[in-house]
């Protein structure tokens, strides 16, 4: 099985989902995307996760990010589970959930880790850019729920650094100062970063976030 690495084109697939058939690349269009897997339907942690994603969907929309979930159970099971999610999490699931009964997508994205469980997917997360390339991979064990605030933070960083020659420091949040790329010379800084900068060390130069007014 091929391993997916950062920078690879996200493998395309067609699959059934709670919102109809999906051709992944066509469905993404020119958006960014998050594909995240769930060990199984009617599991407690997943129920809280999917409810959280539904509540966060306006934040993903604001960032031009489409979200799609996956579980190895079937479509009818998904539909019943969505009712439970809506009821228990006080929300409305507003994104597709892929039915991957044949585990085709799970195997394509290496979501089943036999030493953890040979039948269920781990909690995989793939963030995919508008160029269809994989920008982030996180793998959680089945027992640990994901932090969607962190995913939003990472997407803010990925989108910022994709279009500006900067990096984001530890614990960075949207709106805070960023690191100027070491490839930028001091002479280039004034024209590229007109808000000014602070040199802490020759290799560590900070500037206000460039994509904010």
Query: What is the Cα–Cα distance from 38 to 46, expressed in whole angstroms?
Result: 6
Work out the number of other CB atoms within 10 angstroms of the CB of residue 58. Answer: 9
Under 8 Å between Cβ of 78 and 50 = no
Spatial separation of the C-alpha atoms in residues 165 and 100, rounded to whole Å: 39
The Cβ of residue 108 has, within 10 Å, a number of other Cβ atoms equal to 18
44 counts as catalytic: no
Q: Counting Cβ atoms within 10 Å, is residue 100 exposed (0-12), middle (13-18) or buried (19+)?
A: buried
Q: Do residues 112 and 121 touch, judged by C-beta distance below 8 A? A: yes
| Distance, CA of 7 to CA of 135 (rounded, Å) | 6
**Residue of 15, 34, 35, 46 with catalytic role:** 46
Catalytic residues: 46
């Amino acid at each position: 099985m091929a391993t997916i690495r950062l920078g690879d084109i996200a493998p395309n697939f067609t699959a059934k989902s709670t919102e109809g058939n999906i051709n992944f690349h066509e469905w993404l269009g020119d958006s960014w995307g998050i594909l995240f897997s769930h060990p199984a339907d009617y599991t407690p942690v997943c129920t809280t996760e999917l409810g959280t994603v539904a509540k966060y969907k306006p934040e993903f929309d604001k960032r031009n990010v489409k979200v799609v979930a996956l579980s190895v159970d079937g479509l009818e099971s998904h539909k019943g589970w969505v009712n439970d999610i809506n009821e228990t999490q006080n929300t409305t699931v507003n994104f597709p959930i892929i039915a991957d009964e044949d585990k085709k997508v799970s195997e394509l994205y290496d979501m089943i880790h036999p030493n953890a469980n040979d039948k269920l997917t781990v909690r995989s997360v793939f963030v995919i850019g508008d160029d269809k390339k994989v920008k982030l991979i996180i793998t959680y064990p089945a027992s640990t729920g994901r932090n969607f605030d962190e995913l939003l933070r990472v997407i803010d960083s990925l989108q910022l650094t994709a279009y500006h020659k900067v990096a984001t420091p530890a614990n960075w949040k949207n709106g805070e100062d960023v690191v100027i790329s070491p490839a930028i010379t001091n002479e280039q800084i004034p024209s590229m970063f007109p808000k000014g900068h602070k040199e802490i060390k020759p290799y560590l130069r900070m500037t206000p976030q460039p994509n904010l007014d």
